[in-house]
Amino acid sequence: MNLIPTTRTVSYRLVTAFALALVFVVTTGCDDEDLGTSNATEPTLAEIARSVPVLSTLNTALQEAGLDEQLENNGTGLTVFMPQNTAFDAVEVNELTLPQNEDILTDVLSYHVVPEVVKIEEGSNPIQPGTQETYPTLEGGTVTIRVAEGGGVTVNGVPISNPDVDAANGVAHVADGVLLESLDAVDRAAVAPQFSILRRLIDEAGLEETLRGPGPNADDGLTVFAPSDEAFLAALDANGNGRVDDSEVPNNLGDILAHHVVDGEIFASDIPSGGTSAPTLEGTEVTATATGDGVTIDSGDEVAAVAAPDVRIENGVVHGIDTVLLP
């Protein structure tokens, strides 16, 4: 499986760990860790992932997908956003690397690759402070790099802690988060530890096709209010055993989950303090209200707080909530 489109296989020279140590100085756990500068014997992008300790989880994912060798290619200039190990704390890595999820893993990894060399702070055409630039990725989507006026760099809002790490076949930018915007609502729930119950119930309710699609009005996208595992346990775990047993799944599960989905994208910044109502795919409405502490979602009998707003997905936006909404 190819991550990098090429008609030419380029052999590469193996760089020893000692040589890499001369190129990279890594101070784990420090905000200002230095991953190195350009050198006459620059490693490839794959060698950076393979040899730098704080990138070991990324390297494992590349190997699981069979994509590590593609980042050895010296014939194509690439930019790779490399999530460091702590970035994967918010991702269910075991789920992501299951053989049946190879396509998901490939989408995620290829979304981190831009098929051109993009220098952020160095080079002849760096991104200017106070501006942002958008680039297409190998996955097919786009990423946006922003350089703040007072310093600091982000990609899709995720901090880049080490920009402009030169490689023989491009440049790496070490990121503090994994970019998951290429996933739809179903796959996003699958790789998020806090949404494991939601992912299971989507299948049981027969809503997978709906939540993978663009919404009833085609290109409008979906807004999904996603209850956390804790929210589902509070609502459904009647016997208190720490899981939702089959006997505890309500007969109207499909209606309950559809009551958490709105046609069209609604972002936290769009919600007024006076509240705005929107019909759900189940048919009844929910009311979203901006408060001094954030955003709440009211279904009439239950009011949920939005704990994780504006999680971008391929087919819309997800807001993580702390309460199950009943129609």
30 has a pLDDT exceeding 90: no
Nearest residue to 265 (alpha-carbon basis) of 306, 308, 225? 225
What pLDDT shows up at residue 157? 94
Q: How many domains does the chain have?
A: 2
Across 282-292, average pLDDT: 95
User: DSSP label at 323?
Assistant: S
- 236 and 120 both lie in a single domain: no
pLDDT of residue 44: 94
Percent of the chain with pLDDT over 90: 74
Q: Is residue 46 part of a domain?
A: yes
- pLDDT band of 281, cuts 50, 70, 90: very high
Check whether residue 116 and residue 213 sit in a common domain.
no
Question: Residues 154-175: what's their mean pLDDT?
Answer: 96
Residue 240, pLDDT score: 95
How is residue 293 written in tokens? 């502490």
Q: Do 192 and 316 have their domain in common?
A: yes
pLDDT at 325 over 60: yes
Answer whether residue 299 shows pLDDT above 90.
yes
User: Do 308 and 279 reside in the same domain of the chain?
Assistant: yes
Residues 162-187, mean pLDDT to the nearest whole number: 96
Mean pLDDT of the chain: 87
Q: How confident is residue 27, by pLDDT bands cut at 50, 70 and 90? A: very low
For residue 35, is pLDDT > 80?
Answer: no
Is 237 found in the same domain as 105? no
- d(CA 55, CA 62) in angstroms, rounded, equals 11
Q: Are residues 256 and 117 in the same domain?
A: no
Whether residue 55 is found in the same domain as residue 168: yes
CATH number for the domain harbouring residue 249:
2.30.180.10
d(CA 217, CA 207): 17
Query: Within a domain: residue 37?
Result: yes
Nearest-CA neighbor of 191 among 295, 280, 61? Answer: 61
With respect to residue 135, please indicate whether it lies within any of the assigned structural domains.
no
Got the DSSP string for 74-133?
A: SSS-EEEEEE-GGGGGGS-HHHHTSGGGHHHHHHHHHHTEESS---SSSSSSPPPTTEEE
**307 is a domain residue:** yes
Let me know whether 236 and 306 are in one domain. Answer: yes
pLDDT score, position 292: 87
Length in residues, the chain? 327
Same domain, 40 and 171: yes
Q: Is the pLDDT of residue 144 over 60?
A: yes
What is residue 133's predicted lDDT score, i.e. its pLDDT? 96
State the burial class of residue 119 (Cβ atoms within 10 Å of its Cβ: 0-12, 13-18, 19+): middle
Of the pLDDT bands very low, low, confident and very high (cuts 50, 70, 90), residue 75 is low
Domain that holds residue 169: 17-128+160-175
Answer yes or no: do 169 and 207 share one domain. Answer: no
80 and 197 fall within a common domain: no
pTM of the model: 0.83
Give pLDDT tens digits for 127-140: 999 999 999 999 99
State the pLDDT confidence band at 65, using cuts at 50, 70 and 90: confident
pLDDT of residue 239: 95
First-to-last CA distance in the chain?
Answer: 45
What does the alpha-carbon distance between residue 204 and residue 74 come to, in Å, rounded to a whole number? 47
Which structure tokens are listed for 183? 């996933």
**pLDDT exceeds cutoff 80 at 259:** yes
Residue 249 lies in a domain: yes
Give the least confident one: 47-56, 71-80, 134-143, 234-243.
Answer: 71-80
Mean per-residue pLDDT, 77-92: 95
Is residue 152 domain-resident?
A: no
Q: What is the pLDDT of residue 159?
A: 97
Do the strands 316-321 and 222-227 form a parallel or antiparallel pair, or are they unpaired?
A: parallel
Q: Are residues 31 and 106 in the same domain?
A: yes
The larger pLDDT score, comparing residue 309 to residue 125, is at: 309
Residues 84-109, mean pLDDT to the nearest whole number: 92
> Six-digit token pair at 9?
């296989």
Buried b / exposed e over 297-312, threshold 16 CB at 10 Å, is: bbbeeebbebbbbbbb
